[in-house]
Amino acid sequence: MGLNEMDIHASLKKYFGFSKFKGLQEKVIKNIVQGNNTFVIMPTGGGKSLCYQLPALMQEGTAIVVSPLIALMKNQVDAIRGISSENGIAHVLNSSLTKTEIRQVKDDITSGITKLLYVAPESLTKEEYVDFLQSVKVSFVAVDEAHCISEWGHDFRPEYRNLRTIIARLGDNIPIIGLTATATPKVQEDIIKNLGITEAKVFKASFNRPNLYYEVRPKTANVEGDIIRFVKQNSGKSGIIYCLSRKKVEELAQILQVNGISAVPYHAGFDAKTRSKYQDMFLMEGVDVVVATIAFGMGIDKPDVRFVIHHDMPKSIESYYQETGRAGRDGGEGHCLAFYSYKDIEKLEKFMSGKPVAEQEIGNALLQEVVGFAETSMSRRKFILHYFGEEFDEVNGDGAEMDDNTRNPKEKQEAKDDVVK
């Protein structure tokens, strides 16, 4: 079609008010408007949404966006509606809609107003919707959070496995766009295979975060004391401390408070009101530290988090990367400190013991990588990036000196200890 480079830049300005693309966005968008299958791998915050939103707004017909989280879909729809005078430009199709609302959605799609239709995968399987969507022009299908298709991802959703078959029923040669922030080669293979996009052009951004400093320390009986000391040395700075259990979250928050540190707890056991109170205290009211389970962080955008501490090791390198990734979003300093003890790994193994065998095997394989990371003497950045299928030059690469093993190599450390003796 007659879409050229000028159109793409003009549309970016017109719809989003941005004057420049981020990273690979422009290349991705060009590939999509050419009607090709596309696979996009970018870290969280990389700007994946715009990769499908912009082409959807520019093209004829309606783009279907598959996403697993209703809250995320609603946010995106509200944001898109904000850039247009036409409310029908974006819709969510889900089971909570009334008959009248569904009628409205269908009318808007049929009349060509709707450029983006967000659906949960389980809604897309409904015959009624499939029938309807067969009768309209679909510009492409974007599968967001595409790692949900893989058992090797952190959020496997069986309904994602049906997507390929349904998309094929919607029409001939509808382009498919897969997007994810999970960079492991296994998950990528699964996505490509299950979406049936073996010939797709792959766009993969670097996962390197050169401003983050990675450190692992042995977890002693006095880990609380170690954490207090670290936080006091960094007083006035914002930080997140992750714990495995809700009980530990509350205990540790209290210990910090007693020691004069402004800290709040956060976990999914609190009711919604309490959670948002603590979250606001951390985000806006000058509380320095949030002690939290992994329930904290999804969609939270605090640019000046200066440290992330893991009181307990997470269950995979992906989780570790996501959680530490909340530090230094503004490009400034971000210290990632994890406390490691093999006992904690055994605890995590035990948690899985009730699960199906296949799931346990995957869970254990992911855990062994965490052990490898904790116990390695090589550059931690190199280890993480290698895990994500990325080469890293530990001498000249960006952020090469930014981990404990590189700054204080183990042999040298031992030699120094000998001298002291």
Q: How far is the CB of 73 from ligand ADP (least distance, A)?
A: 12
Contact 121, 95 (CB under 8 A): no
Could you tell me which of 198, 138, 145, 192 has the C-alpha nearest to residue 168?
Answer: 138
Binding mask 26-55 for Mg ion (x = CB under 5 A): ----------------------x-------
Number of residues interacting with Mg ion: please give it, by CB under 5 A: 1
Query: For ligand ADP, which is the closer residue by CB, 70 or 281?
Result: 70
Q: Does 42 bind ligand ADP (CB under 6 A)?
A: yes
Binding mask 104-143 for ligand ADP (x = CB under 6 A): ----------------------------------------
Q: What is the CA radius of gyration of the chain?
A: 23
The site partner of 156 among Mg ion, ligand ADP, none (C-beta below 5 to 8 Å per kind) is: none
Q: How far is the CB of 96 from Mg ion (least distance, A)?
A: 22
* Tokens coding 158: 């069986």
- How far is it, in rounded angstroms, from Cα 154 to Cα 130? 28
Binding mask 17-36 for ligand ADP (x = CB under 6 A): -x-xxx--x-----------
Q: How far is the CB of 371 from ligand ADP (least distance, A)?
A: 28
CA 59, 64, 70: angle at the middle one, nearest 5?
135
- The residue whose two tokens read 């017909």 is 61
DSSP designation for 397: S
Q: How far is the CB of 324 from ligand ADP (least distance, A)?
A: 16
Q: How far is the CB of 72 from ligand ADP (least distance, A)?
A: 9
Number of residues interacting with ligand ADP: please give it, by CB under 6 A: 13
Among 45-53, 89-97, 277-285, 355-363, which window interacts with ligand ADP (CB under 6 A)?
Answer: 45-53
Q: Which amino acid makes up residue 205?
A: A
Could you tell me which of 170, 162, 93 has the C-alpha nearest to residue 134?
Answer: 170
Query: For Mg ion, which is the closer residue by CB, 48 or 310?
Result: 48
Return the residue of 13, 45, 107, 398 that touches ligand ADP, per CB under 6 A.
45
Query: For Mg ion, which is the closer residue by CB, 48 or 209?
Result: 48
Range list of β-strands (E), 228-333: 238-242, 263-266, 289-292, 305-310
- How far is it, in rounded angstroms, from Cα 360 to Cα 202? 30
Query: For ligand ADP, which is the closer residue by CB, 102 or 283?
Result: 283
CA 93, 98, 100: angle at the middle one, nearest 5?
100
Which residues, numbered 46-85, are part of the site for ligand ADP (CB under 6 A)?
46-50
CB count within 10 Å of CB 101 equals 14
The site partner of 313 among ligand ADP, Mg ion, none (C-beta below 5 to 8 Å per kind) is: none
Classify each residue of 136-174 as buried b or exposed e, where b means 16 or more C-beta atoms within 10 Å of its C-beta: bebbbbbbbbbbbbbebbbebbebbbebbebbeebeeeb
Binding residues for ligand ADP, per CB under 6 A? 18, 20-22, 25, 42, 44-50
Binding residues for Mg ion, per CB under 5 A? 48
